[in-house]
Amino acid sequence: MGKQDEITLSQWIENLQSRGRYAFSLNLLADELPSYTEIAAKRALSRLSAKGRIISIYKSYYLIIPPQYSSKGILPPAIFLDGLMKNIERPYYLALLNAAGFYGASHQQPQEFFVVTNFPFLRTTQKKGLKINYISKKNIPETLLESMKTETGYLKVSNPALTACDLIQFEKRVGGINRVSTVLNELAESIKPEMFSNELFEHVPATALQRLGYILEEILENELLSNALYKALQKKKVTFFRTPLKASAAINGFSSNERWKVIVNTEIEIDD
């Protein structure tokens, strides 16, 4: 392949961009530019990568870097995540602090992105200062997800109630229970009582729901949500077992909250 072929590939990429696409797979390239052999395509892609025009984000999946992102050399995940997960045929949703940010709970902007998908595990993506962590769950609850509009399409994001439960379940991943409680203080405004549904309870451990209930009631003093959660759990006949507020801390010598059966083994402070 000579210089003319690279220009052809470059033009193809520019054409994709003009149609509002910021990513492509090797399979798409092979379908639309059949004259390229696999080896020739990889050589041309390598040259364009060296120039910062494109970047391989996952195996055979490439991002197109427009001028406004050339200094970073990478795109924001909101632009490419949906396309990437479709390409690798994985259900997914944006989670934790990143999801909370969509509901206005952006008290502390995360440096990392968290995406929930199914098994088998996906390795962390680290490129150009961007880090995407993947959390695996057995099932992805489509009914608990919301589609958020982005400049290139849509992005699946956990609804406010699932976001709250995930923050508590995976609190160590995002800086601990204090940070989570600070975010929940803002996120609570977006949680509606009817979000405490049977679908939610089927996808979230009872221990996370107990800790959420305790924080809503005792720390955030949100009676509306804490009572709604408690009544929904009673109706579902969910059994409570004693569970620590801080999972990684000692539990001996601490009192338990009677209603939520939460061992109060840490003091929670919320940042203003």
**pLDDT for residue 1:** 45
Q: What is the pLDDT of residue 35?
A: 86
Smallest CA-to-CA distance from 63 within 76, 48, 75, 46 is with 75
pLDDT at 166 exceeding the cut of 90? yes
Query: Could you read off the pLDDT of 73-103 as tens digits, one per residue?
Result: 999 999 999 999 999 999 999 999 999 999 9
Q: Residues near 213 by Cβ (< 8 Å), separated by ≥ 6?
A: 226, 229, 230, 233, 259, 260, 262
Residue carrying the six token digits 């949100």: 222
> What per-residue confidence (pLDDT) applies to 7?
57
Q: What is the pTM of this model?
A: 0.93
Band the pLDDT of 271: cuts 50, 70, 90. Answer: confident
For the chain, report the end-to-end CA distance as a whole number of angstroms.
60
Tokens of 194: 């009817």
Residue 111: predicted pLDDT: 73
Q: What is the pLDDT of residues 107-153, one digit of tens each?
A: 666 678 999 999 999 999 999 999 999 999 999 999 999 999 988 88
Tell me the per-residue pLDDT of 189-247, one tens digit each, with 9 for 90 and over.
999 999 999 999 999 999 999 999 999 999 999 999 999 999 999 999 999 999 999 98
pLDDT band at 6 (very low <50, low <70, confident <90, very high): low
254 pLDDT higher than 60: yes
Cβ neighbours of 176 (radius 10 Å)? 14
Q: In the prediction, which pLDDT does 5 show?
A: 53
pLDDT number for residue 37: 86
- pLDDT, one tens digit per residue, over 38-81 is 888 989 999 999 999 999 999 899 999 999 999 999 999 999 99
Q: Where does the chain have alpha helices with state H? A: 3-18, 26-32, 38-50, 77-87, 96-102, 160-169, 177-187, 198-203, 206-214, 223-236
pLDDT band at 2 (very low <50, low <70, confident <90, very high): very low
What domains can be seen in the chain, in order of their start residue? Answer: 3-69 (1.10.10), 77-263 (3.30.460)
